Amino acid sequence: MSALTALQQLIGQVRGSRVVLISTGILLAIAVVALLGPLFSSHSYLATDLDRRLLAPTLQNGQLFGTDDLGRDLFVRTMMGAQVTLLVAVIASIVSLVIGVLYGATAGFIGGKLDALMMRAVDALYALPFIFLVILLMVVFERSFFLIFVAIGAINWLEMARIVRGQTLSLKEREFVDAARLIGVSSFGIIFRHITPNLLGMVVVYMTLTIPQAILVESFLSFLGLGIQEPQTSLGALVNGGVSQMEQAPWVLLIPAGLLAIVLLCFNFLGDGLRDLTDPRGEMQ
Amino acid sequence: MLRYASMRIIGAIPTLLLVIVIAFLMVHAAPGGPFDAERVLPPDIERNITHAYHLDESLPQQFQRYLRGLLHGDLGPSYRYRDYSVSELIGKALPLSIWLGSLAMSVALLLGVAAGLLAALQKNTFFDRLLTGVAMIGISVPIFVVAPLLVLAFAVHLNWLPAGWSSSSGLSRYLLPVFALALPQIAYIARITRGGMIEAMSSDFVRTARAQGLGTVSIVRYHALKPAMLPLLSYMGPAIVGILTGSVVVEQIFGIPGLGRLFVLAALNRDYTLVLGIVILYAVLIILFNLLVDILYGLLDPRIRKR
Amino acid sequence: MTLLRVSGLSISYPGASRPAVSELSFTVNDGESVGIVGESGSGKTQTALAVMGLLPANASVNGSIRLQGEEILGAPAARLNQLRPQKIAIVFQDPKAALNPYLSVGKQLKRIMIAHGIASGRDAVQRSLEMLQRVGLPDPERQYRAYPHQLSGGMRQRALIASALIAEPDLLIADEPTTALDVTIQAQILNLLQELRHASNTALLLITHDLGVIAGNSERTLVLDKGCLLEEGTTRQIFAAPGQERSQALIAAAPRLDAAAQAAPVTVGAMPLLEVDDISVSFRERRGRGRNDLHAVLPLSFNVLPGETVAIVGESGSGKTSLVRAVLGLLAKKTGTVGFLGMALPDIVRKRSNETRRRLQMVFQDPVASLDPAMRVGSIIAEPISVHEPGSKAAQREQRVDEMLGRVGLEHELKARFPHELSGGQAQRVAIARALVMQPKILICDEAVAALDGTVRSDILQLLLDEQTRSSLSLIIITHDLTVVRQMSHRVLVMYLGRICELTTNDRLFRQPRHPYTRALLDAMPLPDPTAARQPPPVSGEAASILRPPSGCVFHPRCLHANDACSKDTPLLEETQDGKVACHRAAELDLS
């Protein structure tokens, strides 16, 4: 149950950092509102109403954020956008996490030639201009929802693999692993009971940094028109839409843009704060 | 050192080949052909066009043909703009993007390094906290949010600067795009410089330098600057990627006829050869730049230079 | 003349439970050599930093520090920079971290002179070269251009000393200057410091935890404990008749070479527990062109009897750790066999049976690093039980854990703690408990007390001795510290560059060693006895690299008794009265 104690330790440490607590709080609040908010509104994110286009934010009719150029309620659209953005980011990050950790831990633990080979592959992939290949991918395969996860996951796992491998290598050389071998703990046992719990803290911290990266990639794609397609929407797509309405109805741009910025800011503060707690001397980098 | 450099150079080639292969395969794996979007053509005309574009050859043959063309600088014809070759189109758009990118990078380095150094030397003062906060915002807010906001503020409301590229001429039209492109990099560079400098100044060997009676200026110049700058050097690789992706957004928003905008247009138009060509060009730029950074790093760190 | 007068110095940090330094007062006179001794945490380094004006910004400091009458505590940076290093200079403990890795040694020296207007250009280079020569670096021109990572530990420390003395300060502070170095190099560096300071009448403030170093190198001594001055006086006084109880304890705990051996006698003629036969260890190095074979251990043999303690002595590069790791199966050996109770053991620990594994255990040098940082103490000690007795119940395990904790002298409450919450001594006890819970027959201690302070160290050693008496445990103790050898061992194996120099009994080693290297080690050990006569360093030069060992007898370039034959032929290990020795001249030399 070492993984559990490691997690307990982390949570205990977290309580000490205001930055971490506030950022987490804001993010949770946003998530809750994004999930529950649309349920309280009478409008749907699909319904267009050309009589009520580009209305400024008003309490009237419950249209807190106003409407967009097709008369759709912006509050509900923004909340849907937030849901999609967060969903894509979390799932894509989990995908890259799983791949990255498995790959990196295997390379680090087995070491030797296999490790050299695996890391050579990572180095080669690292140099690829991923964003552009992803764009190519999205263009070629007609922008499917599923593909977005794959694309984002494909970009992020490299970094995670590198870091996990580095940590695993250094952990492997530590004396407590030798002691475990001398006791007679099996390789399996060493990986599960000794190495994994010590990786956990770092993985959690790193996740808080990959999530905003994933959000950025998805938003970037959506901004270019290659990501989430109508009538679904994400914060990036909303910003794209807002740009064209920038002069007449700035709120159509400012509201989703502001929300996106806040979400990213919180994740970055969260990640920085966690990193300060668990790795103050920058050993991870 | 020589060994280090040559290993890196040799290593870059398979990476480049990998990019070309992957991109090529992706393009040719596209469902449907490049001409499907247009009106349906009578079969024998279609056959002629297919033959003229070598699409009736086997995939390996097409790849070989493409590679050979690459080595001669011929990237094939554009599928969309039939009168132009990809090289021509790229050639027209590239100089402007290079201009903008270089300007943005220079501005970012200048402002970012200065801000970062100052903040590090004034650690925990008001200026430092302010800078750290602003830099945090700078790296959090995506460029496609910042750029429109800048236009909104400076062009629409204040009317100080032009909002579009073609709507004006002269130096003023450079200001907003370059600044928008540079902004996120300024934030990253400031953060990294600050971090590197703080780390260097708190290292044991700087403590020795203090014990040797060297003043802060001397210490920064002779002892701390190099180790402080090395993390920044490592960042230059990702920085160029940032500039390239940023330029896609910035050119789109300002309507600048550069490589980034060409790329988006090509993507949306499904002009496959053009997209392929640009992707390869981007890859070459990134790989070359990374190579340069690696070699420079090896030159600067004596632990690598002299083993 | 009073050079330095410290009065009522107090240093504290926010959030610390007690001040780092409390009302400390002392003086240093011109040309005098003063030592500050104390365990870690006693405030010695803080005092040094305060005198140099190098305390971190969050330290609150009170009191007065006067240098030649001038108040330097709180002086402006500009004034401090005039004083450093022209009036006061410091040499730090870890030369690897203290030197700038990005600048060549020469540049760092030159920069000091230019900054203080002492010299510039050609003149500065010339002076730097002279200084490098004075600190005993061979081939100064080469070292001038070299970068720190290209130098060995001893050479780096010499370079650091050069940088401190180049401006000819009146006071040199040396903070644990030799702790990171091998004992033979330590002797050289301490000797160098004494020579240099006598030549220019520089005062020396020597800070260390090692009473032996203090005894031989300072005229007056201050004993610090928990930030307070415990005692002060001439070194002879303090050692002969320490006034305070605590300093009595410190001095009594100081390991001595002439102490009585405490190991209980072993039954002679018993069957060997462990038989190491013709073991060698090699590594493949891929540095530079092609592949080089690094021979860490050349074929050697030894055995261990039940209830016996065999000490393996050597400095860095001697191969002692590789040897032991090969015996334990943590490292693949190249040749030879390891026999336990008559049976040959598989190479790799993974292939050995549980029954065998539990009998051979190890305690490591860094106690905290040898414990899993994500596990609580209770789980750490319980883990071996789960592995070897999978049927055991949680309650049973808990009981055994409590029992073990008691046996190593720890309270049961420590079960819930994490390793980083333990002191070095506590962590080492936990490591020992973890090893002992499997009831091993042989416990290998790899520099197990090197990282521990005086009183803690002797407690741990006593614990091991008690265990040995209690369960006839055999110990293999790897150390560079001959006082540990004296206290604990029955037989001793002396290694140099992967080879056995001498195998002998405890008594014989100290009374009449047969190998010049053993003699050198004995002479190099600083005695905590101020009255003993000072000797020149017994060995010159640095240890050769394992990649390019010298021809013939590998020790010959540094040996005081080498003759022609020594550089040509490799000496064989020959039987003697109480053991073995590998030296051409063993028969004719008398090294007592």
Q: Has residue B36 been placed in a domain?
A: no
Put simply, the answer to whether A182 touches C357 (Cβ < 8 Å) is: yes
Q: For the residues C441-448, what does the mean pLDDT come to?
A: 93
A139-148, A200-209, B96-105, C225-234: segment of lowest average pLDDT: A139-148
Q: Which of residues 173-212 of B touch A (CB under 8 A)?
A: 195, 199
Residue-wise pLDDT for A7-44, tens only, equals 777 777 777 678 888 888 888 888 888 888 777 777 77
Helix (H, G, I), strand (E, B) or coil at C31: coil
Q: How far apart are CA C46 and CA C21, in angstroms?
A: 7
Task: Please indicate whether residue C451 or residue A144 has the higher confidence score (pLDDT).
Answer: C451
pLDDT per residue over C116-155, tens digit each? 888 888 888 998 999 998 898 888 888 898 999 888 888 8
In a domain, B59, yes or no: no
Q: Is the peptide bond before A197 cis (omega within 30 degrees of 0)?
A: no
Facing C376 at nearest CB: one of A5, A179, A189: A5
Helix, coil or strand: residue C333 = coil
The complex scores an ipTM of: 0.82
What are chain C's partners, defined as 3 or more CB pairs within 8 angstroms? A, B
**Which among C82, C85, C94 has the least Cβ separation from residue B212?**
C85
Examine residue B35 and state whether it is found in any structural domain, yes or no: no
**CB of C272 closer than 8 Å to CB of C304:** yes
pLDDT band per the 50, 70, 90 thresholds, residue C36: very high
B142 CA to chain A: closest CA distance, Å? Answer: 7
Per-residue pLDDT of C150-171, as tens digits, reads 888 888 999 999 999 988 899 9
Q: Which residues pair with C478 in a beta bridge?
A: C312, C446
Query: Which residues from chain C sit within 8 angstroms of residue B211, using beta carbons?
Result: 52, 54, 84-85, 89-90, 92, 164
Count chain A–chain B contacts defined by CB atoms under 8 A: 126
Structural domain contains residue B254: yes
Q: CA A239 to CA A230: how far, in whole Å?
A: 14
Q: Tell me, what CATH number does B244's domain have?
A: 1.10.3720.10
Pairing mode of beta strands C360-363, C442-446: parallel
pLDDT at C531: 80
pLDDT tens, position by position, B201-219:
888 999 999 999 888 888 9
- Can you give the pLDDT at residue A60? 64
DSSP letters for A220-280: HHHHHTSSSPTTS--HHHHHHHHHHTTTT-THHHHHHHHHHHHHHHHHHHHHHHHHHHH-T
Cβ separation B211–C116 shorter than 8 A: no
The answer, for C105 touching chain A at a CB cutoff of 8 Å, is no
Q: How many angstroms separate the CA atoms of A49 and A261, rounded?
A: 29
Q: Is C96 left (phi over 0), alpha (psi -120 to 50) or beta?
A: alpha
Question: Amino acid letter at B306?
Answer: K
Q: For residue A223, give the nearest of B139, B244, B249 by CB distance.
A: B249
| Under 8 Å between Cβ of C521 and C185 | no
Q: Do A185 and C387 touch (CB under 8 A)?
A: yes
pLDDT digits (tens, 9 = 90+) for C243-266: 777 777 777 777 777 777 777 777
pLDDT of residue C171: 93
Q: How big is chain A by its Cα radius of gyration, in Å? A: 22
Cβ within 8 Å of A, B 214-273: 241, 244-245, 248-249, 252-253, 263-264, 267-268, 270, 272
Contact C77 B207 (CB under 8 A): no
Contacts of B216 in chain C (CB under 8 A): 77
Number of structural domains in chain B: 1
pLDDT in tens, C179-202: 888 888 888 899 999 998 889 899
Give me the residue label for tokens 């929802």.
A145
Task: Give the per-residue pLDDT at C11.
Answer: 93
Q: What is the pLDDT of residue C406?
A: 92
Per the structure, the complete domain to which residue B163 belongs is given by 98-260+289-306
Q: Is residue B33 part of a domain?
A: no
Alpha-carbon torsion, ordered A174, A179, A185, A190, to 10 deg: -10
Q: How many CB atoms lie within 10 A of CB C277?
A: 15
Q: Whole-prediction pTM value?
A: 0.83
Q: What pLDDT does A284 receive?
A: 44
Residue B145 lies in a domain: yes
Of B210, B300, B302, the CB nearest to C54: B210
Between A148 and C97, the more confident residue is: C97
> B8, B19, B141, B145: which to substitute to probe chain A, counting the most A Cβ within 10 Å?
B145
Rounded distance, CA C461 to CA C481, Å?
13
What pLDDT score was predicted for residue C1? 81
Helix (H, G, I), strand (E, B) or coil at C475: strand
C361, C375, C376 member nearest A182 (Cβ):
C361
Interface with A, mutate which of B140, B252, B268, B289 (most A CBs under 10 A): B140
Kindly report the nearest CA distance between residue B240 and chain C, in angstroms.
27
Chain C residue numbers touching A281 (CB-CB < 8 A)? none
- pLDDT beyond 80 at C558: yes
Best residue in A1, A10, A173, A175 to probe C by mutation, most C CBs within 10 Å? A175
Facing B306 at nearest CB: one of C83, C84, C147: C147
Task: Decide if B279 and A268 are in contact by the 8 Å CB cutoff.
Answer: no
Distance from CA of C290 to the nearest CA of A (A): 17
In a domain, B274, yes or no: no
**Strand C491-496 versus strand C309-313 pairing type:** parallel
For residue C349, give the nearest of A6, A9, A182 by CB distance: A182
Rounded Cα distance, A34 and A83, in Å: 6
Dist CA B3 CA C274 (whole Å): 47
Which pair of tokens denotes residue B103? 């300007």
Listed range (A177-191, B6-20, B72-86, C88-102) with the worst mean pLDDT: B72-86
**C112 interfaces chain B, CB cutoff of 8 Å:** yes
Rounded to the nearest 10°, the torsion over CA C400, C406, C408, C410 is 120
Which residue shows structure tokens 């190198």? Answer: C217
- In whole angstroms, what is the distance from residue C147 CA to residue C137 CA? 14
pLDDT value for A285: 41
CB atoms within 10 A of CB A232: 16
Considering only CB atoms, which residues of chain A are within 8 Å of chain C?
2, 5-6, 9, 174-176, 178-185, 187, 189, 193-194, 197-198, 200
Residue pLDDT tens, chain B, 307 long: 777 788 878 878 888 888 888 888 877 776 655 666 566 667 777 777 777 777 777 777 778 878 877 777 777 777 777 777 788 888 888 998 999 999 999 999 999 999 999 998 888 888 888 888 889 888 888 888 888 888 888 877 777 777 777 766 677 788 888 999 999 999 999 999 998 998 898 889 999 999 998 888 889 888 999 888 888 998 898 898 889 988 988 998 888 889 988 888 887 777 778 888 888 888 888 888 888 888 888 888 888 777 5
pLDDT in tens, A238-270: 888 888 777 777 888 888 888 998 999 998 888
What is the arrangement of strands in the sheet containing C2-12, beginning at the earlier edge strand? C21-29, C2-12, C60-67, C70-71
Whole-number pLDDT of residue C260: 72
Does B28 reside within a domain? no
